[in-house]
Structure 1
């Protein structure tokens, strides 16, 4: 594909840039195994089932095992504008932690949370757990003071989130349509 798809807005540019980080051959395609990595790199939180749906919808018919940017870009753009794969809100995270903190101490043990993450719901990988624990665990106590952890996530949450960009892009669509109708 020559030059790849036409990028028409900042959302598409952000998706394309993230995609290209994992385009190891420079041919505007990635291995299907990188789909989840690209989505997470963008700040999305898809389930494994949702990643598989993205792969099914965007995998190349000609080159099985590869996803082209030209198929990935419109699919992911649409899903982001619908706020699919959005991370949980801080109040939702706090309530989830409070639910598993049966004694309401404001802390949970690393071992307990690791057990839950490995055995309940969709299991996390060891790498995902290690990344979380590196930030969540208080090095002095070895426990997770979850309110502090959630606040750390908020501080590290960029104001230029992909979902804010998706909202802006969606809001611009009627404006572009109105302008083009007046011009023609």
Structure 2
């Protein structure tokens, strides 16, 4: 099967992301880094999805590690199939608007923290702090979610 230029470039991108975490140059990484690598490649996956993937990827001969030869074809397929593709800007905006019952156009830090740490797949304290550091308008102290979504989408281009 002939590999397209796009697929070849995609695989180079995957290898480069993987190699950042391959400190010893052994073509293996600690299994705990796989979620970070996948997210750096634009995948938006749940912890449950990640755990299912890790079961498939973990090296049987070296538990706790994933080798590039196993990771590369799976990750290539995920990206080509647009599996775990990020939500559109409209979907993100709708999600924020659901939290904004008063239709103010913004959320307070307390409101957003409450919504994202109470139900469903909750943010950790570190994840919440990281999000707030990027989302909060320094002048008002609020999250103007239209601006934040615009910022998120422009970062993914």
Q: Same fold (TM over 0.5)?
A: yes
Measured against aligned partners, the alpha-carbon deviations of 1:40-73 in whole angstroms (never above 9, x if no partner) come to 1112111111111221111111001100000001
What CA RMSD, in Å, does the superposition of the two structures yield over aligned residues? 1.2
Correspondence for 1:76: 75
Q: Report what 1:88 is aligned to.
A: 87
Which runs of structure 1 show a deviation greater than 6 angstroms over 4 or more consecutive aligned residues?
none
Rg: which structure is higher? 1
Tell me if the contact between 1:22 and 1:30 (Cα under 8 Å) persists in the aligned partners.
Answer: yes
Gaps of 5+ in 1: 1-7, 159-184
Once residues 135 and 79 of structure 1 are traced to their aligned partners in structure 2, the CA distance between those partners, rounded to angstroms, is: 28
TM-score under structure 2 length normalisation: 0.91
Unaligned ranges ≥5, structure 2? 1-6
SS in 2 for 1:74: helix
Counterpart CA distance in 2 for 1:116 and 1:100 is: 8
Counterpart in 2 of 1:109? Answer: 108
Quote the offset at 1:154 in angstroms.
Answer: 2.4
Relative to the length of structure 1, the TM-score reads 0.79
Aligned to 1:153: 152
Contact 1:58 1:72 in 2 (8 A): yes
Q: Which structure's relative contact order is higher, taking Cα pairs within 8 Å and 6+ residues apart? A: 1
Equivalences, count: 151
Per the TM alignment, residue 157 of structure 1 is displaced from its structure 2 partner at its CA by 2.4
